Amino acid sequence: MSSRRPDPLAQVSDFDIRLLRIFRSVVECGGFSAAESVLGIGRSAISQQMSDLEQRLGLRLCQRGRAGFSLTEEGREVYQSALQLLSALESFRTEVNGLHQHLRGELTIGLTDNLVTLPHMRITHALAQLKERGPDVQIQIRMIAPNEVEQGVLDGRLHVGVVPQASVLSGLEYQPLYSERSLLYCAVGHPLFYVDDKQLDDERLNSQDAIAPTFRLPAEIQAHYQALNCTASASDREGMAFLILTGRYIGYLPDHYASLWVQQGRLRALKPKARFYDLSLASVTRKGRRPHLVLESFLESLAATR
């Protein structure tokens, strides 16, 4: 008669789900210390609960110590399974709540950085309307690079995202939201800062050290960067601003984002009537998504805030 080792998770309790939520936050924050403020508990408590989860699963999920935080192979697989489980639980909760026509549950949004300075504030107004309709709705905003936003919507980690609209990815739906203008800037300390625009010919501009974004952009906008001498890159607009403000690089920034530094005399636009481009930003959701009352209410509000 053969003996069979019992399954570590013959039953999934509320305690297990709580531990998995903590584990998800730790992974997405990149470690225990970074997760403290997100979870609202101390590092020692997080460490203890991760140990409880590892003991419950019978698996080593992560390495922690002086070398830093990293997932084991088993940890990566448990993380993916946890995402599926928590997403399924949220879908179940949303659908049941929908039967009562009450807005409850979570809305997780992935945003490209530096949209808050846009004067239209469509996202802000839509979130305000959502919170008014559903006071119990829990809203989570994640500021991440555009390609990560799209991937997050595809794999279900995000309900909706807002990204610069380049080529359309299969499996996603895009709805235009904004159009923003980007200008070519340099900062105080750069050799061109005090040079009159009339003296700035294309050859002189294109020879300066410049910054290129690593996120996807339409071909016609990529041409603006291909004309420059791009010797640095950044995954988002804030990274580009950091480099421009060193006074050693030129680069494109949205005019609404750069305006405060311009008013302070720290940035200036170079030949703004010639060196600019307009970029469309769009909301993105997954095609064929399951009914999600909170998400649909947010999208409805977003569409109404013209």
What does the H/E/C string look like for 35-75? HHHHHCCCHHHHHHHHHHHHHHHCCCCEECCCCCCEECHHH
CB count in 10 Å sphere of residue 96: 12
Q: Are 213 and 251 in contact (CB under 8 A)?
A: no
The conformation of residue 197, written as its DSSP 8-state character, comes to G
pLDDT average, residue stretch 266-284: 94
* Alpha carbon of residue 161 to chain centroid: 8
- Asked if residue 1 has pLDDT above 50, the reply is no
Torsion of CA 118, 120, 126, 132, to 10 degrees: 100
For the ranges 1-5, 130-134, 170-174, 273-277, which has the lowest average pLDDT?
1-5
Between 238 and 8, the higher pLDDT residue: 238
pTM of the model: 0.64
Task: Locate 226 and state its tokens.
Answer: 């291909």
- What gap in Å lies between CA 296 and CA 279, rounded to an integer? 26
If you search the block for the tokens 């992560």, which residue do you land on?
Answer: 62
pLDDT of residue 203: 93
Torsion of CA 250, 252, 256, 258, to 10 degrees: -20
In the structure, what pLDDT confidence band is assigned to residue 86 with cuts at 50, 70 and 90? confident
